[in-house]
Amino acid sequence: MMTYTNQMTQASNFLAQQGDTWRAINPEYVVRMRLQNRFKTGLDIAQYTADIMRRDMAKYDQDAAQYTQSLGCWHGFIGQQKMISVKKHFGSTKGRYLYLSGWMVAAMRSEFGPLPDQSMHEKTSVPALIEELYTFLKQADARELNHLFKELDAARDEGDQVKERAAQKRIDDFETHVVPIIADIDAGFGNEEATYLLAKKMIEAGACCIQIENQVSDAKQCGHQDGKVTVPHEDFLAKINAVRYAFMELGIENGIIVARTDSLGAGLTQKIPVSQYPGDLAEQYNAYIDGEEVTDVSSLDSGDMVLRQGDKLIKPTRLANGLVKFKANTGEDRVVLDCITSLQNGADLLWIETEKPHVQQIAGMVNRIREVVPNAKLVYNNSPSFNWTLNFRQQVFDAWQQEGRDVSEYHRENLMSQQYDGSELAQVADEKIRSFQRDASQQAGIFHHLITLPTYHTAALSTDNLAKDYFGDLGMLAYVAGVQRQEIRQSLASVKHQDMSGSNIGDDHKEYFSGNQALKASGENNTMNQFS
Active site (catalytic) residues: 222
Cβ atoms of 34 and 7 closer than 8 Å: yes
Burial 424-456 (b: 16+ CB within 10 A, else e): ebbebbbebbeebbeebbbebbbbbbbbbbbbb
Residue from 114, 130, 68 nearest 93 by CA: 68
Torsional sign, CA 130, 133, 135, 141: negative
472 CB contacts (<8 Å, ≥6 apart)? 478
- The CA distance from 370 to 374, in Å, is 4
Pairing of strands 68-72, 446-451: parallel
SS3 489: helix
- Cα 437 to Cα 42, 87, 426: the distances in Å are 31, 21, 18
Residue from 378, 462, 451, 461 nearest 104 by CA: 451
| Alpha helix segments (H runs only) across 289-356 | 331-343
Residue from 463, 451, 209 nearest 349 by CA: 209
Cβ atoms of 263 and 214 closer than 8 Å: yes
- The CA distance from 73 to 77, in Å, is 9
Measure CA of the first residue to CA of the last residue in the chain; give whole Å: 34
SS3 432: helix
List the Cα angle 412/367/403 in 5-degree steps.
30
- Assign 3-state DSSP to the chain and report helix, strand, coil percentages, each to 5: 55, 10, 35
Pairing of strands 256-261, 312-316: unpaired
268 CB contacts (<8 Å, ≥6 apart)? 227, 228, 229, 230, 319, 323, 324, 325, 326
Tell me the Ramachandran region of residue 502: left when phi exceeds 0, alpha when psi lies from -120 to 50, beta otherwise.
left
- Cα 113 to Cα 74, 107, 184: the distances in Å are 14, 7, 19
Cβ atoms of 327 and 291 closer than 8 Å: no
Cβ atoms of 92 and 469 closer than 8 Å: no
Report helix angle 42-62 to 125-158, nearest 10: 90
User: Counting beta carbons within 10 angstroms of the beta carbon of residue 92, is it exposed (0 to 12), middle (13 to 18) or buried (19 or more)?
Assistant: exposed
